[in-house]
């Protein structure tokens, strides 16, 4: 058994001050060592424990009392997906980040983990000897720990709405997932969005719906698309979610089952038509271009934008050349500021931006950047966005 402890704190509650306490649970000594070194180099976090199995984590959780757990999926004795609910039963405000390699099976398990209460997931590189892959893993993991841990410290723990099991559409094939549960009531402090200024909605009728999201996005997207049936029938819906390959394949299947509309990863050159949801595939930027009299998808394998690939800004800015000001864009929960610059361009062209509010966001980075830039026509809780979008496409401009 391999167990390492650092520090001590009162069981059953997260510490209000001091570094974030991170528990690393992975059967790979290389991964445990790597993550431990990264965390040790940060001023605002510390390694609370380094464990080899999920069973060790479950048995020691009350003693260790971490704020955040990085939980591997495949481990001996007790795997991550089995350990997850047991950990949350013993410490319900624990922030759990699932870690897995990029396989279809692990992507499916990661989505299941979200339904069981995991805060987020992160793909592990196939080999830590590949410098670029290790650098991305390092950057993303530290940012997720910091931002998700800060949310825990900032307000009482309110789990983001889980992905709940869904009944598939009659013709659906494949695994059944993702009918969203009702959003949990907000019990924390009022959102700062209540004092932010907004601008009027565009007077132009929107001809397309664009959505950008990141951390917490899968849950938010499920909740939103479930309410957009009439809109999807009327206009194309294009979504960029920060997510790696394979994961976007699974997400598209979830979106199809939840919305009961055609949804798939976008294909380079395919026409953009009403009645479909187009999802940017992991590892590629998605843009729209003119193709004769039609609009088509253009996938771009260029460098990351805002540290992301796919990124939201390329989609938002490319849409202006097609639909000019007849654009409604929605920026959902996520780290960073991706979507804010593209949103500015959309507003300058005459379109509109809606941002998810702070209280209902897992991380109020992307929507917060848009809200603070003063480009939003509305800053709304997740459970109000769908109704507002439906009204806007039905002709209401207020």
Q: Active-site residues: which are they? A: 214, 242, 338
Measure the CA–CA gap between 323 and 298, rounded to whole angstroms: 16
Q: In what order do the strands lie in the sheet with 120-124?
A: 3-5, 45-51, 20-25, 68-72, 95-101, 120-124
Measured CA to CA, the distance from residue 261 to residue 245 in angstroms comes to 22
8 A C-beta contact, residue 306 and residue 340: no
CA-CA distance, 18 to 21, in Å (whole number)? 9
> In 3-state terms, what secondary structure has residue 245?
coil
The string of DSSP letters for 133-177 reads HHHHHHHHHHHHHHHHHHHHHHS---PPPPEE--PPPTT--S---
Strands (E), the chain: 3-5, 20-25, 45-51, 68-72, 95-101, 120-124, 163-164, 179-180, 208-213, 237-241, 263-265, 277-279, 285-291, 294-300, 327-331, 352-356, 378-380
CA–CA dist 396, 309 (Å, integer):
35
- Residues in the chain, how many? 398
Can you tell me which residue has the tokens 């003063």? 374
- The C-alpha angle with vertex 278 and arms to 275 and 284, in degrees rounded to 5, equals 165
Distance separating alpha carbons of residues 155 and 31, to the nearest angstrom:
31
Of 16, 298, 251, give the one whose Cα is nearest residue 157: 16
Q: In angstroms, rounded to a whole number, what is the distance separating the alpha carbons of residues 58 and 40?
A: 23
* Contact in structure between 298 and 288 (CB atoms under 8 Å): yes
Q: Any alpha helices (H) in 187-329, and if so which ranges?
A: 217-225, 229-234, 247-259, 312-323
């Amino acid at each position: 058994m391999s167990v390492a402890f650092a520090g001590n704190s009162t069981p059953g509650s997260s510490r209000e001050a001091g570094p974030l306490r991170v528990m690393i649970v992975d059967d790979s000594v290389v991964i445990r060592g790597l993550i431990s070194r990264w965390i040790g180099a940060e001023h605002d976090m510390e390694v609370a424990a380094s464990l080899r199995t999920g069973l060790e984590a479950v048995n020691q959780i009350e003693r260790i009392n971490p704020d955040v757990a990085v939980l591997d999926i495949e481990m001996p004795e007790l795997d991550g997906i089995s350990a997850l609910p047991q950990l949350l039963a013993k410490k319900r405000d624990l922030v759990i980040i699932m870690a897995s390699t990029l396989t279809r099976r692990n992507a499916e398990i990661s989505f299941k983990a979200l339904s069981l209460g995991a805060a987020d997931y992160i793909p592990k590189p196939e080999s830590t000897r590949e410098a670029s892959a290790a650098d991305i893993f390092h950057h993303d993991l530290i940012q997720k720990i910091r931002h998700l841990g800060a949310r825990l410290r900032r307000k009482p723990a309110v789990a983001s709405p889980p992905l709940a099991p869904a009944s598939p559409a009659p013709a659906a094939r494949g695994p059944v997932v993702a009918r969203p549960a009702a959003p949990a009531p907000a019990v924390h402090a009022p959102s700062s969005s209540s004092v932010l200024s907004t601008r009027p909605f565009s007077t132009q009728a929107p001809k397309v719906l664009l959505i950008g999201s990141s951390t917490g996005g899968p849950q938010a997207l499920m909740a939103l698309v479930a309410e957009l049936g009439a809109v999807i029938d009327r206009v194309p819906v294009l979504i960029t979610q920060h997510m790696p390959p394979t994961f976007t394949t699974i997400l598209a299947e979830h979106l199809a089952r939840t919305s009961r509309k055609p949804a798939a990863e976008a294909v380079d050159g395919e026409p953009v038509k009403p009645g479909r949801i187009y999802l940017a595939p992991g590892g590629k930027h998605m843009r729209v271009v003119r193709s004769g009299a039609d609009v088509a998808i253009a996938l771009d394998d260029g460098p990351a934008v805002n540290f992301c690939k796919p990124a939201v800004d390329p989609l938002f800015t490319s849409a202006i050349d097609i639909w000019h000001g007849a654009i409604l864009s929605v920026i959902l929960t996520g780290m960073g500021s991706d979507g804010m610059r593209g949103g500015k361009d959309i507003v300058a062209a005459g379109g509109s931006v809606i941002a998810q509010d702070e209280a209902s966001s897992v991380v109020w980075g992307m929507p917060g950047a848009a809200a603070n830039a003063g480009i939003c026509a509305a800053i709304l809780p997740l459970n109000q966005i769908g109704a507002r979008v439906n009204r806007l496409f039905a002709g209401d401009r207020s």
